[in-house]
Amino acid sequence: MARSTPTHAVDWDPLAPDSLTDPHGTYADLRGRCPVAWSDRWDGFWTLTRYADVVKVAGDPRTFISSVQNLVPKSPRTGLSRKPLSSDPPEHTVFRRVLNEHFAEERVARLDPAFRSVVARYLEPFLERSGGEAMEEVIRHLPVRGVGLWLDVPESEAEWIQSRSTRYVAALAENDRELADSLSAELDVYARALVARRKTEGRPAAADAVTGLLHTRIQGEPIPDEWVAGSVRMVIVAADRSTAAGAGFALEWLARDEELQDRLRRDPGQIRDAIEELLRLGSPSQLLVRTATRDTEIGGRSIGEGEAVAMQFKAANRDPEVFEDPDAFRLDRKFKRHLAFGHGIHKCAGAQLARLELRVVLEEFLARTRSFRLAGEVPHTRWPEYGPALLPLRTETTE
């Protein structure tokens, strides 16, 4: 789709110092003075900061499509098409149906014992040292290993994926297109190889998502291998960095609130509700992008056909029109329909896997400690995921 040539005045700069150091303050300011804001960064895009506007765009896949781009700056599109994220109905519907089956809560729950074992393996030496830098020593190792369990691949492959995924997301954030393209190509090769391997193994359709997609038919025809590989490619990166950012944010918040730690230790059944509130407050995947298929209007602003529209989940999840006292943690918050996993047909397929990973991480951290607190400054990643870049913790164990 050809993008119109915008002539809009610039309302904000996502790379301005205030935007990077105080995103919540920046988005609160935009909601008040310019809730549908234009930036000329990365070829230009609109940013939506109100909950209602984000829900409107996410719920209208005819007017706002996903097949042109999903992020700003654009992810490399020189390789596998990452379905279903980068597809529109009706093609999208087929992929989501199969992925939804394999991401169903009861199926994901079977991974709990194996993932808990992985968490313990990284957490035990960390606690024996009375803490350290939690992101690099513990948290960043976990989500991709959870994905590895879900894909049913050896942990050595998960380690390889993590090494590329980490550098790939960093390259995107730094707009290093050459490095991002190179790493993306390596991940494409892995995804194709996994699909080829699954085709020779003779697994039943219910064994794993890759095999399930290979057994699926569209109008009587099998899904092309390249499309299946694209789905693998989407999952192995999307489920890595954002979940690590979310786990890091949750631990940072708890490290600043020992009373909340104690409350959750006394009643671990409240951890699930705590995770939903921490997801709302942290919103580790800041945004996703859609492209307008026609001239339209949002919040009194004219959106041109072909223009990019960023749904700013981090801003929407602290919209005071929807969430009372939006910057506060409330374990008993009644309205829980946050947008940390998106909304509409493209809502995160792996939400249940992410929830399981976050729950197990918090359960193990809380059960194995008497307390933990910050042991230094906490710098944050800035774009497109948001969470601790470093998380120095001092821990006291129960032993």
The 10s digit of each residue's pLDDT in 111-157 is 999 999 999 999 999 999 999 999 999 999 999 999 999 999 998 89
Task: Of 33, 244, 214, give the one whose Cα is nearest residue 146.
Answer: 244
Distance CA 335, CA 321 (A): 12
pLDDT at 249: 97
Task: Of 291, 356, 296, give the one whose Cα is nearest residue 142.
Answer: 356
Q: Is the pLDDT of residue 85 over 80?
A: no
Question: In the numeric block, which tokens belong to residue 348?
Answer: 């995160």
Question: In the numeric block, which tokens belong to residue 342?
Answer: 């998106």
DSSP 300: T
What φ, ψ does residue 132 adopt, rounded to 5°? 155, -150
- 64 - beta bridge partners? 292
- 35 - beta bridge partners? none
Question: 3-class DSSP state for residue 33?
Answer: helix
Q: Is the pLDDT of residue 323 over 90?
A: yes
Q: Which residues contact 129 (CB under 8 A, 6 or more apart)?
A: none
Question: In the numeric block, which tokens belong to residue 389?
Answer: 């870049």
All structural domains of the chain with their residue ranges? 17-397
Fold of 17-397: Cytochrome p450 (1.10.630)
| Alpha carbon 111 to its chain's center | 19
pLDDT digits (tens, 9 = 90+) for 44-77: 999 999 999 999 999 999 999 988 888 888 776 5
- 217 - beta bridge partners? 222
Q: Is the pLDDT of residue 83 over 70?
A: no
Q: Is the pLDDT of residue 29 over 60?
A: yes
Residue type, 119: V
Inter-CA distances, 140 with 125, 143, 296, Å: 15, 7, 41
Q: What average pLDDT does this structure show over 361-368?
A: 97
Give the pLDDT band of residue 5 (cuts 50, 70, 90): low
pLDDT at 77: 57
pTM of the predicted model as reported, rounded to 2 decimal places = 0.91
| Alpha carbon 231 to its chain's center | 15
Q: Which residues contact 322 (CB under 8 A, 6 or more apart)?
A: 51, 52, 316, 335
Largest distance between two CA atoms of the chain: 64
pLDDT at 4: 53
